[in-house]
Structure 1
Amino acid sequence: MIFIENEGNTNPRLNLALEEYVLRNFDPANDYLLFYINEPSIIIGRNQNTLEEINHQYVEKENIHVVRRISGGGAVYHDNGNLNFSFITNHDGKSLSNFKKFTAPVIKVLQALGLNAELKGRNDIEVDDKKISGTAQFSTGKRMVSHGTLLFDTDLEEVVNALNVKMDKIVSKGHKSVRSRVANISEFLQDAIKIAEFRELLLEGLYEESEPFESYHLTAEEWEGVHQLKAVKYDTWDWNYGKSPKFNIQRSKRFPIGEVDMRIFVEKGHIQDFKIFGDFFGKEPLESLEQLFIGTRYEKEDITTLLKDVDIQEYFGDLPENDFIELVYGADVVE
């Protein structure tokens, strides 16, 4: 395992560019670990509709960064009290969606600090039934990134102010509000420490879990590549917000794998545009699936035939094909 120094950068666009650059360009013979802390920001899941996930007026007023990440899952709020970790490794197919494998060493360190930490639900780390961390994954070829947040001393009121969290998600977790289901790690520690100290304790614990362990500083040439990726991708409106599709049908439902939200534009009985949003985790990019629907008659029989040779679970995880088809067809018109 090689620990990559991010040199104290707190710009979320730069840190996400660094993470992706390492994933795509560093020697696949090694595993990598990355820590970073971001300035106040909202990090949007790969498949989400940004404008519907954020409190746009508040975000603009407070100058909060809005950045889309390459992994699925839901939107999260970051600030200087939030420590982010990222494992960049190879995968054999079995590691995908195996959040237990990649959260285990982090949970072990938290437990050593006296916290009753455990993995719950799809991808959350909780302490005494309070969420203190969410995790997500992304894969490309045989490489993958498994990353997560650790709420250490975050301004939890800002989580509520900056995000538009949908009520069905809160209800599905059995809580009355966002604030009631999240907590900071600092609340559970017997001795007060700063986030910098927590970072070192976590790093020491992870060192013990993976020997040998070394640190690495990027070269000037590698940093140039990171900044270039930031400029052409993470700094752009198209990546962070994307163009809202024209639609006259909306259909959404929360499944065990997460929310699936469809926007479909049907004209003269045929699908002219098709877009899927949500906080689910999938292996394959949605664009190829969405493109299949263009020109298809908006009829259940045609849609079923279209998907005959498509593995829906590659895009959404453990979502039955029949459930997906039922969601696509029979939607209410919302002109």
Structure 2
Amino acid sequence: MIRKLTFLKNWQDTQNPFRNFAVEEYLMNHVEKGEVILFLWQNRHTVVIGRNQNGWHECNVKKLEEDGGILARRLSGGGAVYHDTGNMNFSFLAQKGDYDVAKQLSVIVEGVRPFGIQAEKSGRNDIKNEGRKFSGNAFYRHGSLCYHHGTLLIAEDMKNMVKYLNVDGSKMNYKGVKSVPSKVVNLSDLNPSVTVESLTASLKESFGKVYGLPVHEIHSRDIPEEALTDRIRFFSSWEWRFGGAHEFDVPLEGRWDWGFLKFSFSVDHGLIEDVSVDSDGLEADFIAAIPGVLKGKRYEGKELARAVLSMETGSMEEKEVQKDAASLLETAG
């Protein structure tokens, strides 16, 4: 039986995805029997991928990072999503016996009703208005501890969603889980009075109404910072964000006055397992030696470029090939 409702809004304190995921996990690990927690949070300029996805496939990582964005990986499954401050995220956290996805989704449906927005649950993962999705959901369980989290599109920049998420699938032969595009809509387009602040207040009210209990609000300062440090480090690590990628094959090619280079990489868990090179360049020995310095490296442009630039060269022609190969490899990822 649910005896306690706890509410935390964290979007005013941080928009860092790594800290938000650490807070979410902390809340899950500390939720009491008979308690349900509703956590509202935001990420700034972030692409979030599911646990079993490949970040390089799901988004243009290089462009995202050049524009000051962040690629993050969550613990739950599902597809890739773009987050900015026009999007708000929610998490429901509970122990197994208190975890009720249908009831939790009802909080969202009832939360948008005061704005005149009729919402319906679609399958297991989405909440829509007249067939257009404004909320995608994902789920995670660790032993008897559970959470259900999702997005709420309020005034998200749809151009950025397309800019960073729509990667040409022909560039990779991919063996993991691909995202499936869906028609989406911002809640503010349905009613301009929907803002982060107004929807927060409405969701807090619907949370209490659906469960028939008073809502106890806590603050992020109630969570000890030292309890988050290691998990922030984990969620922000390259190994977690990229090292979990399934095996995939990707070509990379360029052409110059001296000839062309085409690299074919076999990458698993973010590391290059094998690489071959095809070229009509005359510096055959130098070109043939390049794969040897790339094997075992992270599939990360700057690291690959550094590896090639560390190779010894014996002529001006080899130096030219080295420079151009490094420039091409720097675009990897």
TM norm structure 1? 0.64
Q: Closer, same or farther in 2 for the Cα pair 1:109/1:139, shift >3 Å? A: same
How big is each residue's C-alpha offset from its partner over 1:34-81, in whole Å with a ceiling of 9 and x where there is no partner? Answer: 000110101110111121111123212212111100111001100000
Q: Does 1:109 align with 2:111?
A: yes
**AA aligned opposite 2:164:** A
Within the candidate set 168, 183, 186, 1:184 is matched to 186
CA distance in 1, matches of 2:168, 2:207: 35
Per-residue deviation at 1:92?
4.2
Identity across aligned pairs (percent)?
A: 31
Within the candidate set 10, 16, 40, 2:15 is matched to 10
Indicate conservation of the 8 Å contact 2:94/2:146, yes or no.
Answer: yes
Per-residue deviation at 1:166?
7.6
Indicate conservation of the 8 Å contact 1:99/1:135, yes or no.
Answer: no
- 2:139 match: 137
Per-residue deviation at 1:243?
5.5
Per-residue deviation at 1:227?
2.7
- 2:63 match: 58
- 1:276 match: none
Per-residue deviation at 1:164?
3.2
Within the candidate set 61, 73, 78, 1:68 is matched to 73
CA distance in 2, matches of 1:247, 1:9: 34
Q: Closer, same or farther in 2 for the Cα pair 1:106/1:246, shift >3 Å? A: closer
Within the candidate set 39, 48, 51, 1:46 is matched to 51
How big is each residue's C-alpha offset from its partner over 1:198-240, in whole Å with a ceiling of 9 and x where there is no partner? Answer: 2222222223223121012355662221233101x11100111
CA distance in 2, matches of 1:193, 1:131: 16
- 2:35 match: 30
Q: Please, which runs of 5 or more residues in structure 1 have no aligned partner?
A: 169-176, 249-262, 266-272, 274-335
Indicate conservation of the 8 Å contact 2:47/2:72, yes or no.
Answer: yes
- 1:164 match: 166
- 1:322 match: none
Aligned length: 238
Indicate conservation of the 8 Å contact 1:21/1:229, yes or no.
Answer: no
How big is each residue's C-alpha offset from its partner over 1:7-43, in whole Å with a ceiling of 9 and x where there is no partner? Answer: 5211111111100111123434422110001101011
CA distance in 2, matches of 1:56, 1:239: 15
**AA aligned opposite 2:128:** E
CA distance in 2, matches of 1:108, 1:69: 27
Cα root mean square deviation, aligned: 2.9
